A = this chain, B = another copy of it.
Amino acid sequence: MDERKKIILKAIVDDYVETCEPVGSKSLVKRHNLKYSSATIRNEMAELEEMGYLEKPHTSAGRMPSDKGYRAYVDNLLSLPKISPEEAAAIRNYLTENLSEAKEMIERTAEYLAEKTNYLSVVLSPQFSDTSLEQIKIMMIEPGRAIVVLVLSPGIVHDRLIRIPALIEEKDLNEIGRAVERCLAGKRLDDITLVTISSAAEASELPEALVNQVLYEAYIAIKQTEKIEVYIDGKYQLLKHPEFRDVDRASRFYDAMQQEHMVAGYMREMEHEEEGKAFAECEWDLDCLEKIGDEPSSLAVQQKKPAYMVRIGQEIALNGMEDMSFITTTYRIGQQITGQIGVIGPKRMQYGNIISQISFVNRALSDVAKDHYGRGECPAPDDGNRKRRD
Contacts and interface: CB of A to CB of B under 8 A. Distances in A.
A378 B157 contact: no
Interface stretch (A59-67, A79-87, A216-224, A272-280): A216-224
Contact of A142 (B142, B151, B251, B384): B151
A251 B226 CA distance: 36
A145 interface: yes
A116 interface: no
A184 to B, nearest CB: 16
Contacts of A4: none
Interface stretch (A88-96, A169-177, A233-241): A233-241
Contact of A235 (B212, B235, B240, B247): B235
B378 A163 contact: yes
Contacts of A147: 139, 147, 149, 159
Contacts of A261: 390
A159 B161 contact: yes
A57 interface: no
A144 B390 contact: no
B151 A157 contact: no
A381 interface: yes
B159 A216 contact: no
Interface string A127-144: 000000001010101101
A379 B142 contact: no
Nearest to A264: B390
A297 B375 CA distance: 48
A190 B220 CA distance: 33
Nearest to A235: B236
A213 interface: yes
A157 B166 CA distance: 15
A32 interface: no
As for how many copies of this chain the complex holds, the number is 2
B236 A254 contact: yes
A209 B381 CA distance: 9
A377 to B, nearest CB: 8
A286 B88 CA distance: 58
A228 B389 CA distance: 10
B390 A228 contact: yes
Contact of A144 (B135, B149, B216, B378): B378
A300 to B, nearest CB: 25
Contact of A139 (B139, B224, B388): B139
Interface in A232-287: 235-236, 239-240, 244-245, 247, 250-251, 254, 261
Contacts of A384: 194, 216, 219
Interface of A: 100-101, 135, 137, 139, 141-142, 144-145, 147, 149, 151, 157, 159-161, 163-166, 194, 209, 212-213, 216, 219-220, 223-224, 226-228, 235-236, 239-240, 244-245, 247, 250-251, 254, 261, 375-376, 378-379, 381-382, 384, 388-390
Closest 3 CB pairs of A and B: A236-B254, A163-B378, A239-B251
Given A100-B160, A235-B235, 15 more contacts: A101-B160, A139-B139, A141-B149, A141-B151, A147-B147, A159-B161, A163-B376, A163-B378, A164-B378, A166-B378, A194-B384, A209-B381, A213-B381, A239-B254, A247-B247
